[in-house]
Structure 1
Amino acid sequence: MAIPGDFKRRVEDAMRLEVDAFFRTVHYASHLAEGEEALDEAYYIRHRVETVRRIRMTSRTDALALAAMIGEDYDAARAWARYTAQELNHDLLYLQDLRRHGFTGEQVIATPPLPATVALLDYLERGIARVGSLAAVAYSLFVEWNSAQYSAKVVAKAEAQFSPSHVKGSKAHLTIDEDQDHYAMMLDVAWRLTARQGDERPLFGLIHDIAGLLSEYFRELHAQTVGQQADRSWRACDEAVAS
């Protein structure tokens, strides 16, 4: 089933609008990939920790989506099964990098996910129950498109600041995504599902909601890292003045 060019254009236009809104409204996130500002190490590492947690948590919703997709479109389910089997192991790549920053796998897995991540997974699970596998596919479609746009820039910036060995796993992840063309795979699955349903509107609604939840995650990430550092600095200043 060939993907119509106008479908791809509509989907990418929708995702671009969400990302433009993200960069306008979410403080600091753009520094991961853009600009001359050095990476905030605490922010970057906590983001990588959450990436591992999110991969492991979405493995459950990916499996729920596969069970639903088998009944919706068996050919699409074949592609989805191959994709999710690969994603299942991507936590190991980021764990490899995190070990270079002094984090053990046990420490990473013991780190509680941020509330927005929990909310995202709850949204996906409820979405699968409501509209079927498209909920999980919309998440993967949005993530893979963003990865194709920005991940190489993040990895290059981290490599320049830390070392090539600190991003060995991240680079391997990029290679897998490019070689397997995960974005094109997800676009194909999304097209199959929406064409069978005869309605694209649920896909765009899901993308909008997922973008909002990811924006909230980055706000929480900033508050837990950069924000806490600023609070400690102000308290130290106040204590110095008081003494």
Structure 2
Amino acid sequence: MNRVHNTGITHPKPFFTEQQGLEKKAELDRYMDKKMAEWKATVPFASHMSDPELHQAYYRRTLIEHVWRIRLSRVSQSKAIYKIAQISPRAAQDYAHYQADEMLHDKLYVSDCEAVGVSLKEIEETEPYLSTKLFEGFFYYALEHESAIAPVVSNYLVEYTQAKLQPTIVKSLQEKLGKEKVKGQAAHLHVDTTEDHSMEMWNVLVQLIFSEEDFQSVFKYIDDVQEILAMFFREIYEDTVAKHTRNAA
């Protein structure tokens, strides 16, 4: 009798063939396109970074929150690697490579913060929004009580949407602020696009889908993640735009 379990020793075979996987990816991508349209229609300031005029307080606070989200994700995503390694060694290896690319990218956003006058001290003294804490907390919950798919789905969603939206955003910020002040975000975008992080995340995700039920759960996790991210955008809008507009009236 061997009492050792959860070792990933079997190297499980994905549920979908390579061709089926690409078809399923296309289905998910269409779903995310629809969710992006919903986002644009319902979330305040959803497209603000591409607007002609940049709200400085909103932009600065967004940069600070990006720094915190990456820093906090270093821990939650490391836990995800540990959980995935118990299921699929190959998926864990691929996910670890992706996280290695992303893990220190807070430095890129710190550089952009400093370029617009936000010091490292100010970043350190700014507590993350509740929505950011809940975002990371959702991964801890899902990893312990539901599925290791959840954080992978989140990264797939983020990488897919950024590949579609971020080039326009970075170009717009460069035009408004100057290229020197957006170097960090431009570098981050360069890594994401040249290494095709969206496809990287799909290649990890498909290795963790072992049934049709698993695949259907991906749609639900997309909904969950988008809802929590929308909470952040509403929170930052209220904090930096709406509240100050009311006070000035």
The residue that corresponds to 2:24 in the other structure is 7
The residue that corresponds to 1:145 in the other structure is 160
Please, which moves more after superposition, 179-188 or 129-138? Answer: 129-138
1:197 shift after superposition: 7.8
Q: Deviations over 1:121-146 (max 9, x none)?
A: 11111011123321110111111111
The RMSD of aligned alpha carbons is 1.5
Q: Which runs of 5+ in 2 are unaligned?
A: 1-16
1:106 shift after superposition: 2.5
> For 2:134, what is the secondary structure of its paired residue?
helix
The residue that corresponds to 2:64 in the other structure is 49
Contact 2:40 / 2:47 at 8 angstroms: preserved in 1? yes
> For 2:47, what is the secondary structure of its paired residue?
helix
The residue that corresponds to 1:104 in the other structure is 119
The residue that corresponds to 2:38 in the other structure is 21
Structure 1 length as normaliser, TM-score? 0.91
Compared CA separation, residues 130 and 197, structure 1 to 2 (3 A):
farther
> For 1:13, what is the secondary structure of its paired residue?
helix
Q: How far apart in 2 are the matches of 1:174 and 1:199? A: 30
Q: How far apart in 2 are the matches of 1:197 and 1:5? A: 15
Q: Deviations over 1:15-50 (max 9, x none)?
A: 1222111111111221213x5x31211111111111
2:227 to 212, 220, 226: 212
Q: Deviations over 1:54-100 (max 9, x none)?
A: 01111111011100111111111111001111111110011111111
More helix by share: 1
> For 1:72, what is the secondary structure of its paired residue?
coil
How is 1:38-117 mapped onto 2 (pairs within 5 angstroms)? 38-117=53-132
Q: How far apart in 1 are the matches of 2:217 and 2:142? A: 10
1:232 shift after superposition: 2.6
Compared CA separation, residues 198 and 75, structure 1 to 2 (3 A):
farther
Structure 2 length as normaliser, TM-score? 0.88
| 2:231 aligned with 1:226 | no
Q: Aligned residue pairs: how many?
A: 232
The residue that corresponds to 2:9 in the other structure is none
| 2:16 aligned with 1:31 | no
Contact 1:194 / 1:203 at 8 angstroms: preserved in 2? no
Q: Deviations over 1:159-188 (max 9, x none)?
A: 111111110111111111112111110011
Contact 2:60 / 2:118 at 8 angstroms: preserved in 1? no
Matched letter for residue 227 of structure 1 = A
Sequence identity, in percent?
A: 26
Runs of 4+ in 1 over 6 A off after TM superposition: none
1:200 to 215, 220, 225: 215
Q: How far apart in 2 are the matches of 1:51 and 1:7? A: 30
Q: How far apart in 2 are the matches of 1:110 and 1:15? A: 35
Contact 1:65 / 1:132 at 8 angstroms: preserved in 2? no
Q: Which runs of 5+ in 1 are unaligned?
A: 235-243
Q: How far apart in 2 are the matches of 1:202 and 1:104? A: 41
